[in-house]
Structure 1
Amino acid sequence: MDNSSGRITGMTAIEPKATVAVVGAGTMGQGIAQVALVAGHRVRLYDTAGGRAAEAARAIGARLDRLVEKGRLTADARDAARARLHPAARLDDLADPALVIEAILEQLDVKQKLFAELESVVPDDCLLATNTSSLSVTAVAGALRLPGRFVGLHFFNPAPLLPLVEVVRGFATDAEAAERAYATVAAWGKTPVRCADAPGFVVNRIARPFYAEAFRVHEERAADPATVDAVLRECGGFPMGPFELTDLIGQDVNEAVTRSVYESFFHDPKFRPSLAQRRLVEAGLLGRKSGRGWYDHTAGAERPRPRTEEPCEAPRALTVHGRLPRACAVLAEMIREAGIAVTEAPGPDDDGHLALPGGTELSLTQGLPATTELAGTRIHFDLALDYRTCTRIALAPSATASPSDVRAAVGLFQALGKQVSVIGDAPGLIVARTVAMLVDFAEDAVGRGVASPEDVDTAMRLGVNHPRGPLEWGRVLGAVWVGQVLRNLHFEYPDGRYAPSQPLLRRAAVEESLL
């Protein structure tokens, strides 16, 4: 680094022999320190609370012992790592690091004060990084003498286990500093993704609909939390549902991130928080850590079961009108394989559907409610990650659908090996509206230069363990279908929340021009 300009000129990872300092000895600080230790660095750990750094060093040592017991680390490597870990009693003890990573309170003024003090201690060629998940990297660096060397390194908890690190370049961050931070994280065995300093970065920005759509379905009394979670897991392929996941994260933590992103986007309705979740936080029902959140986590409490229909008889025959949307085209083949006769009839190529024996139209949701002013009765079914392998499907009948046709629709999917949850007439049901919003948020983020398409999909797979990156999912479904779902949802809720982004609309226009 040129000390006169404060500009980092090296674009390679910091040397393994270099010292890394971690400020903040809580859960995240300990995890980050462990990552740097195992990568071979000498680590200085500092916390303002007296004795906290030494206590954290002992906790890290205990975790290294467990890695040895599990065969993931040799005893010699553990001993060497312990010898490299040094608790620091004062900030002045951090005079020689090549990199300082902060993991303290999510308060802007506190972080700014810390880094202003650090600048008077560390050398000018030292990279400075914040692990913030919700604050602006640009704002944290705003008061620094050399803001060009400041980056965001957003690790995910637990840092030693989760591979993703968002490398965030603030408005004043030098490209060389960001690249050196990226190379360092990669050298530590992590998977870094580059992103601009935008609210929520990549993961916390794009993941908002996963929670918000589920909460809205619940608030509208279309389905209970257990059913929503089950549908997103067993039909959508997500590893956890949003209600159980936020109970694990902590309702206060999840809601605070949502509010921070909402406020950072100047109250854009796309990011509007949930009133139901706010009430949980106000009541102190924070999830597992308080014993109760959406679910009761006290000892002996029984977990609510999702709504699941009793066995029904499948129809012996049905008709396919037109060409089923490509998202569910495999259903016709699956129905034949189940021994149900299928007759093909003319129909619109872009909106094919199944006709039950009683005349009710059974179709993939397009974002509208099943109950409309149009003539006829309808039952909508939800989007699945994979109709062959999914184990549950959600159905939403119109108010005019006869009980016998609802039973026939239930029996049809049961014959295909699925459990069936009949929910209220929610536009877009559960999986479809969630995935459509995730795709749109991802397209918008790429269109605004937040991150590359590859980094967006990598971040969502590794950061929140989604079964597909949202952009990949959008390519599978087609931007035309995703855009139509969102247009219809926007028609039902004309407050701007579901208005498709311009990048998605442009992609849909290109798709249509190629048809």
Structure 2
Amino acid sequence: MTESRPPVRVRVVGAGAMGTGIAQLLATSGMEVRLADADPTALDRGLDRIGAQLAREVAGGRLDPATAAEVSARVTRLGSPTAPEPCDVVIEAVVEDLEVKRSLFRELESVLAPNTVLATNTSSLSVTAIAAVLDRPERALGLHFFNPVPRMRLVEIIPGVRTATSVVDFATALVARTGHVAVRATDTPGFLVNHAGRGYVTEALQLLEEGIAGPAEIDAIARDVLRMRMGPFELLDLTGLDVSVPVLESIWTGFYAEPRLRPSTLLRGRLHGGLLGRKTGEGFYRYRDGAKLPPEPVPVATVPVDRPFWTDDPSLAALLDGAGTRVERTGQPGERAVVLIAPEGVSVVAEARRRGLPVRRTCGVESIGDSTTRLVLAIHPGLDPEVGRVARSALAGTGREVSVVRDGPAGVAQRLLASIVNTAAGIAQARLATPDDINTAVRLALGYPTGPLAWGDRVGADRILTVLDGLFTQTGDPRYRPSRWIVERVALGLALADPGTAPEDIVAAGGE
């Protein structure tokens, strides 16, 4: 098709936020960029946006004025998106509409040299479907940047089913020249990042549907216990349900109603009701001038910790000891003791009954994640309210925030993390991306503390499997069936990030 060569002449079609961000990044990397848009006014605004962004970079000390002037000079206007002017690659960032993109590619093919690469920045459409209108579909691929382009360092490279290897090599070299990180994704719904991200928000919505906790508590647990940059409901409000709902539904239907990717019944009603998030002033939270309004203060009942506690969890015992709470050191709890347990992959009630503990005096505490700033207390309908109040006060006495949630088939943090890891493991099992690319893409594009497979390894793949098995057994919901990728690696003692031995390894070895 074309030999891999250093990209020099780039045409960017579409002068919106994505197109101008791509143009700025490429120009900053020393490439000559021609920016085009079917709307001359939009092109003017786009060039102004680049100038304003470069000025902010200079004001922030991230760019010197001379360099900013050079970058600005490398981005010039092109009168027509389909002008016959030669270039090495065209990157389109026009409206997310299949027929619009197909029409553009068809026109570009008719006026540009056969070795010109045609790249689409689509985030949700099939690259193969876009390229299908071309006489030479091997010249086309997906090159998915993330907004804001100069700061989001990840780029997904998505070959269509007929994309030439040399075109993939060309795109990889282009991304490398920008200093961004390229990952290879398969042309399937959501590609890599949007697919992997479903595990987080879909499980949060499931927790909300079940009444385990409200959006603010789930978000607080996600931030403080799992160390996520944003809670799932904060993220949905930031993106907007008008964007999120179609993505959630298209990925689910695109994988033929795969249960792990199932959206929530809560979303359509909120979408139709206009509760989109920040852009409408109200979503899961309320906003004023784009800023989240603080919730109404809720008085918290504080009671004296006048009862002993019993737990056989060493970390819980150490926390309570450190706060001056008396902890019984007996085989079974005394008659007045508040019982704290830390179950994994099972409800507090089921674990208490299994172990013969007094259910009416037994609460659960989240066992997965970081407990240095927040503890999660799980209570059940049969709990003595006084016991629950004393337990909350004792946990607050450790100096940590305390979230009180309803008992469920597993803890909130356990469920969120297990879903994140299981979704990523499903991607790896289907060979839609390599484990390294999955970890890199999610960490850079979604801001998780680490890649999902690496996260599962850090916590313990066996613990993740215990949670998933427990959820599947208790609920019967196939969304929780553990990926074979996890099951096999736990059985074999392999890391989740280990690709393992593949058939091609055996064939290659046999040919030596």
What's the TM-score bracket when you normalise by the shorter of the two chains? 0.7 to 0.9
TM-score relative to the length of structure 1: 0.87
Counterpart Cα distance in 2 of 1:306 and 1:171: 55
Q: CA deviation at 1:340?
A: 4.9
Q: Which deviates further from its counterpart, 232-241 or 290-299?
A: 290-299
Taking a change above 3 Å as real, the CA distance of residues 222 and 386 of structure 1, as seen in their structure-2 partners, is closer
Counterpart Cα distance in 2 of 1:100 and 1:228: 43
Q: CA deviation at 1:237?
A: 0.8
Q: CA deviation at 1:264?
A: 0.7
Alignment match of 1:471 (pick from 450, 453, 473): 453
Counterpart Cα distance in 1 of 2:92 and 2:227: 35
Q: CA deviation at 1:426?
A: 2.9
- The answer as to whether partners of 2:429 and 2:483 remain within 8 angstroms in 1 is no
Q: Which deviates further from its counterpart, 445-454 or 373-382?
A: 373-382
1:479-515 Cα distance to aligned partner (Å, 9 max, x none): 22211211222233323111111111112222499xx
Counterpart Cα distance in 2 of 1:383 and 1:170: 43
What's 1:503 paired with?
485
RMSD in angstroms over aligned alpha carbons?
A: 2.7
Identity of aligned residues (%): 36
What's 2:197 paired with?
207
Taking a change above 3 Å as real, the CA distance of residues 419 and 307 of structure 1, as seen in their structure-2 partners, is farther
1:462 equivalent to 2:444? Answer yes
- The answer as to whether partners of 1:309 and 1:422 remain within 8 angstroms in 2 is no
Alignment match of 1:78 (pick from 68, 72, 89): 68
Alignment match of 1:303 (pick from 294, 299, 303): 294
Counterpart Cα distance in 2 of 1:460 and 1:382: 25
Q: Which deviates further from its counterpart, 373-382 or 484-493?
A: 373-382
- The answer as to whether partners of 1:30 and 1:56 remain within 8 angstroms in 2 is yes
What's 1:370 paired with?
348
1:381-426 Cα distance to aligned partner (Å, 9 max, x none): 2244322x3x222221122222233234323432332111111223
Q: CA deviation at 1:111?
A: 1.4
What's 2:28 paired with?
38
What's 1:438 paired with?
420
Alignment match of 2:366 (pick from 382, 394, 410): 382
What's 1:448 paired with?
430
Q: CA deviation at 1:241?
A: 0.8
Q: Which deviates further from its counterpart, 302-311 or 365-374?
A: 302-311
What's 2:260 paired with?
270
Taking a change above 3 Å as real, the CA distance of residues 307 and 224 of structure 1, as seen in their structure-2 partners, is farther
Q: Which residue type is aligned with residue 271 of structure 2?
A: V
| 5+ residue gaps, structure 1 | 1-6, 347-353
What's 1:351 paired with?
none
Q: CA deviation at 1:312?
A: 4.7
Alignment match of 1:260 (pick from 232, 250, 265): 250
What's 1:103 paired with?
93
1:492 equivalent to 2:470? Answer no
Alignment match of 2:2 (pick from 8, 14, 23): 8
Q: Which residue type is aligned with residue 35 of structure 1?
A: L
1:419 equivalent to 2:401? Answer yes
Aligned length, in residue pairs: 488
Q: CA deviation at 1:302?
A: 3.7
Counterpart Cα distance in 1 of 2:328 and 2:457: 30
SS in structure 2 at match of 1:90? coil
Alignment match of 1:224 (pick from 195, 214, 219): 214
Taking a change above 3 Å as real, the CA distance of residues 128 and 226 of structure 1, as seen in their structure-2 partners, is same
| 5+ residue gaps, structure 2 | 496-512
Counterpart Cα distance in 2 of 1:137 and 1:258: 19
Taking a change above 3 Å as real, the CA distance of residues 383 and 175 of structure 1, as seen in their structure-2 partners, is farther
- The answer as to whether partners of 1:356 and 1:408 remain within 8 angstroms in 2 is no
Superposed, which structure 2 residues align to 1:91-490 within 5 Å? 91-93=81-83, 95-298=85-288, 302-304=293-295, 309-313=300-304, 318-321=309-312, 330-340=315-325, 358=336, 361-372=339-350, 376-377=358-359, 378-387=362-371, 389=372, 391-490=373-472
Counterpart Cα distance in 1 of 2:487 and 2:461: 8
1:232-259 Cα distance to aligned partner (Å, 9 max, x none): 1122211111111111111111111111
Q: Which residue type is aligned with residue 363 of structure 1?
A: I
Counterpart Cα distance in 2 of 1:270 and 1:301: 31
- The answer as to whether partners of 2:240 and 2:278 remain within 8 angstroms in 1 is yes
Q: CA deviation at 1:438?
A: 0.6
Q: Which residue type is aligned with residue 379 of structure 1?
A: C
Q: CA deviation at 1:169?
A: 2.3
- The answer as to whether partners of 1:226 and 1:305 remain within 8 angstroms in 2 is no
Counterpart Cα distance in 2 of 1:104 and 1:221: 41
